[in-house]
Amino acid sequence: MNNLLVLPLLIPAFTAVILIFLKERVDLQRMISAVSVFLNIMVAGIIVYQVSTKGIQTLNMGGWLPPYGIVFVADMFAALLVLIGAIVGAACLFFSFASIGEERERFYYYPFFHFLLTGVFGSFLTGDLFNLFVCFEVLLVASYALIVLGGTKGQLRETLKYVLVNVISSSLFVATLAYLYAATGTLNMAHLSVRVAEAGQGGVINVVAVLLLIVFSIKAGLLLFFWLPDSYSAPPVAVRALFGALLTKVGLYAITRTFTLIFIQEPGLTHSLIAWMAGATMILGAIGALAYNDLGRIFNYNIIISVGFIAFGISVATQDSLNGVVFYLMHDMVAKALLFFLGGMIISASGTDRLKEMGGLIRRYPWTGWMFFVLTLALVGVPPLSGFAGKVMMVRSGFGQNHVALALIALASSFIVLYSLIKVFQQVFWGGEKREEQVKPLHYKAMMAPAAVLFAIVILMGVGAETVNGYVSQAGAVLADPALYINAVMKE
């Protein structure tokens, strides 16, 4: 029992409720938000420390012993994601201060922001499948509001699609849970793992597994990403960064959790399905990243490529590749947020999001330019930076486990990422400026600060990969051996 585990959920939830009452006091809202996100980082840091010294931490809500009550579980994987999520969330918050505008701030931007964080952290920490659904809904409702806030025609249209897709997938989620409960009589993840292993993964359970995979794939943008590029283009940059960094990763987290803990008896069916989907996602994402000429779309398709890449690691499912998944997931959350920050600066500096109309920004904004260049290298996986270690581990075990074709696709997708982002770099920063009127971003320094912090993390995670790997391999060990997780939850 460790009561600390509920704090990452409670802090943003309470903050959000308080902020609702401070509608007109924007300065106060900002102050409370800032304090809240720093508290969250601290709590998440303490949880990571406790898990690393004392093993998996659990919290039985209301004192109901599992499998009867709702249980919160922090293994290293969840704890690390909460920590990185808290840091990225804080960065997005400070970027919002500089870029979101007072209109939105007055209309409950910060409460929605904190509700989104509530849902994200809840999804990471919960050990109960139905509770996962509830946390998903919390973050989804907050994300509906964040996408539509502002109410332009484009936003309304994209939100309609986004809401519809998610309402359908949520219905499917609940229906799947109904079948799962009928088949196994439990919804606690650790208990499910035991029951599925006892009963064998027969017909019904396989159907449930595939249905869950579909549900989570819609959330993660794994193959079923048709909604993602449009929806993620609608809101302002700070929101896009938050979505790109956190929302798809929650889906990936759910896939990783369920397919390393519960549905592990029939990897020939489920994991090869994930492998096919991962390959197709990387290829289609690559086509998209090459096809478009506006910044938003290119970045969105880059999100999709990395989703495919991480899913490839999940499908290989050795300890080495799962270490890689954890490492790369952490890297990708930070790097994608940074990518959108820099993209936001570029767009507001040049006043357009079409590549063809940009150019020569390196003279006015050298720091943004070089940060973008280094970030590109990090996303591709060039050694001293954060993307390298995760990619090496996944691709190495891909070749080791006879997933040669998939590993080759993964490597090729890295080159596509390199090509598409270097193309952006060339067009945006080289040459002369092509537009007459100069639009200077209002708060360049305030935008730079959170970006610089994330940039430092990208470099530190790469240079200090050995230290990070100590934590990551602890996470990978639990993913590779479900018994550790089960024993920690079901202990009397």
Partner 1 sequence: MELVVALAIGVLFSVGVYLVLSKSLLRILLGTNLITHGVHLLLLTMSGLKTGAPPLLGEKAEAYADPLPQALILTSIVISFGVTAFFIVLAYRTYRSTGTDDVEGTKEERQ
Site residues for partner 1 per CB under 8 A: 130, 134, 137, 141, 144-145, 148, 151, 153-154, 156-157, 159-160, 163-164, 167-168, 170-171, 174-175, 177-179, 181-182, 187
Helix/strand/coil for 395: helix
What minimum distance in Å lies between the beta carbon of 68 and partner 1? 9
Does the CA dihedral 45-46-47-53 come out positive or negative? positive
Inter-residue contact 88 to 334 (CB < 8 Å): yes
What minimum distance in Å lies between the beta carbon of 167 and partner 1? 5
CA-to-CA distance for 394 and 312, rounded, in angstroms?
Answer: 8
Q: 172: burial class by Cβ within 10 Å (0-12, 13-18, 19+)?
A: middle
Residue whose CB is less far from partner 1, 47 or 125: 125
Find all residues with CB under 8 Å of 197, minimum gap 6, and list them.
265
Residue whose CB is less far from partner 1, 153 or 440: 153
Residue whose CB is less far from partner 1, 175 or 404: 175
Residue whose CB is less far from partner 1, 160 or 412: 160
Find all residues with CB under 8 Å of 445, minimum gap 6, and list them.
none
Q: Which two tokens stand for residue 155?
A: 């936003």
What minimum distance in Å lies between the beta carbon of 181 and partner 1? 6
Does the CA dihedral 476-479-483-486 come out positive or negative? positive
Residue whose CB is less far from partner 1, 150 or 381: 150
Inter-residue contact 89 to 249 (CB < 8 Å): no
CA-to-CA distance for 187 and 177, rounded, in angstroms?
Answer: 8
CA-to-CA distance for 434 and 65, rounded, in angstroms?
Answer: 65
Residue whose CB is less far from partner 1, 192 or 448: 192
What minimum distance in Å lies between the beta carbon of 274 and partner 1? 25
Residue whose CB is less far from partner 1, 4 or 172: 172
What minimum distance in Å lies between the beta carbon of 104 and partner 1? 16
Inter-residue contact 8 to 82 (CB < 8 Å): yes
Residue whose CB is less far from partner 1, 158 or 332: 158
CA angle 248, 379, 74 (to 5 degrees): 45
What minimum distance in Å lies between the beta carbon of 385 and partner 1? 35
What minimum distance in Å lies between the beta carbon of 152 and partner 1? 8
Identify the helix (H) or strand (E) that includes residue 343.
helix 319-350
What's phi and psi for 430, nearest 5 deg? -85, 175
Helix/strand/coil for 82: helix
Listed in order, strand segments (DSSP E) in 42-97 are 57-60, 71-74
What minimum distance in Å lies between the beta carbon of 166 and partner 1? 9
What minimum distance in Å lies between the beta carbon of 392 and partner 1? 40
Q: 293: burial class by Cβ within 10 Å (0-12, 13-18, 19+)?
A: middle
Residue whose CB is less far from partner 1, 30 or 161: 161
Residue whose CB is less far from partner 1, 159 or 413: 159
What minimum distance in Å lies between the beta carbon of 119 and partner 1? 12
